Amino acid sequence: MGLPPTFVIKAGQTLWNSLWHTMMGSLAPRDGQGSYQRPASQFRQWVDANPNSKIPAEPGRYRLIVGRSCPWAHRTLVVRALKGLDTVIPVTWAIADPSVGGWRLSTPFEGCDTLAAVYQKASPQYDGRATVPMLWDDRQKQVINNESADIIQILNSQFDDFASNSKLDLYPAELKEMCDRWNKIIYETVNNGVYRCGFAQSQFAYEKACNELFETLDLVEAKLADSTYLCGDQLTLADARLFPTLIRFDLVYYHLFRCSRRRIYDYPNLWNYLKTFYGQPGIAETCDLQGIKQDYYQSLFPLNPGGIVPLGPDLDPMLSKVN
């Protein structure tokens, strides 16, 4: 038995290519060159430590709605763990589910089974994407913020009166400039860069994103030759932004998103940095490695139509091993 006739192959390629672009157009908006364009977050209210503010920080009033597989949501879990806010800000879990076209809630919340329904219930006029993370106000029944960069700053500074690790400042004044500089580089070329590789809809767009991604990883590898973290020996929000992408890299992005020039494991300094961060109190518990693989490989149908989840790599023993 050989391949089907040529005309059948060409017809199949044409049909699949058309369907693929249609599906990708909904999953990943693109520009004229086929480069992924991430939509901007639309809920940007700020929780304030001042008890007299419009939206004051209070224990038990706010919650995070997150998906374990999402790196943007993961960074909020990381800061929540580092600051010791586990009992102050509860979590509601969402699961990537292609059958509902997005995030399904693990248990019903506010009478809703999906995250999209929560957005619609809180803001009936909202026509944007139902994304995680979401910072939700249980008292006012409204979405406070769905921009992860804002949420991690809020968690770092506005709940210190209730945090068990209130003395930890992940965005100290003396390191803000350096932290912001790293954030700008890392966001475009690494955090969003892996998605620009995976969601690229042209060879040009893919190669541009991939080259920029590994140029930055090389830059970070060199920086970490004489530095424990990105801004020296102190953890900052820049590290909280980078870690969720790195922990997913060898698991998912290397194969599924075609970021296959090198693994993080192939970078000695980056790999040691990843293990050091993973070893911080509470961080390993935020990392559902099997869940990450399962969500990506089973929910991103255009990238993996068969939905087959690879057995490896097994990072658990590698991350836990002490040098």
278 among known catalytic residues: no
pLDDT value of residue 22: 65
Tens of pLDDT, residues 80-124? 999 999 999 999 999 999 899 899 999 999 999 999 999 999 999
Among 53-57, 125-129, 162-166, the range scoring the smallest mean pLDDT is 125-129
pLDDT value of residue 34: 79
Q: Which of 112, 126, 187, 195 is catalytic?
A: 195
pLDDT band at residue 10 under the 50/70/90 scheme: confident
**Residue 322 pLDDT > 80:** no
Tens of pLDDT, residues 210-231? 999 999 999 999 999 999 999 9
**What does DSSP say about strands 112-114 and 91-97: parallel, antiparallel, or unpaired?**
unpaired
pLDDT value of residue 21: 59
Give the chain's mean pLDDT. 93
Retrieve residue 110's tokens.
């506010």
pLDDT value of residue 35: 83
pLDDT value of residue 88: 98
CA distance 14 to 165: 57
pLDDT band at residue 20 under the 50/70/90 scheme: low
**Residue 163 pLDDT > 60:** yes
Question: Which has the higher per-residue pLDDT, 209 or 3?
Answer: 209
pLDDT value of residue 3: 63
CATH code that applies to domain 173-300+312-320? 1.20.1050.10
Average pLDDT of the residues in 154-168? 98
pLDDT value of residue 30: 76
Tens of pLDDT, residues 243-290? 999 999 999 999 999 999 999 999 999 999 999 999 999 999 999 999
Q: Which of 62, 70, 267, 273 is catalytic?
A: 70
Domain residue ranges in the chain: 31-168, 173-300+312-320
- Per the omega criterion (within 30 degrees of 0), is the bond before 317 cis? no
pLDDT value of residue 113: 98
Question: Which has the higher per-residue pLDDT, 36 or 210?
Answer: 210
195 among known catalytic residues: yes
**Residue 5 pLDDT > 90:** no
pLDDT value of residue 266: 98
pLDDT value of residue 28: 73
pLDDT value of residue 16: 61
The architecture CATH gives domain 31-168: 3-Layer(aba) Sandwich (3.40)
- Determine what percent of the chain is predicted with pLDDT higher than 70: 92
Q: Is the dihedral of CA 176, 72, 82, 60 positive or negative?
A: positive
pLDDT value of residue 222: 98
**Residue 1 pLDDT > 60:** no
pLDDT value of residue 180: 98
Residue with tokens 């058309």: 18
pLDDT value of residue 26: 62
Average pLDDT of the residues in 166-174? 98
For the entire predicted model, the pTM comes to: 0.93
Within the chain, residue ranges assigned H as helices are 6-27, 71-83, 115-122, 148-157, 176-186, 193-198, 203-223, 237-248, 254-256, 268-278, 289-299, 316-320
**Residue 182 pLDDT > 60:** yes
The per-residue DSSP string of 53-103 comes to SSSB--TTTEEEEEETT-HHHHHHHHHHHHHT-TTTS-EEEEEEEGGGTEE
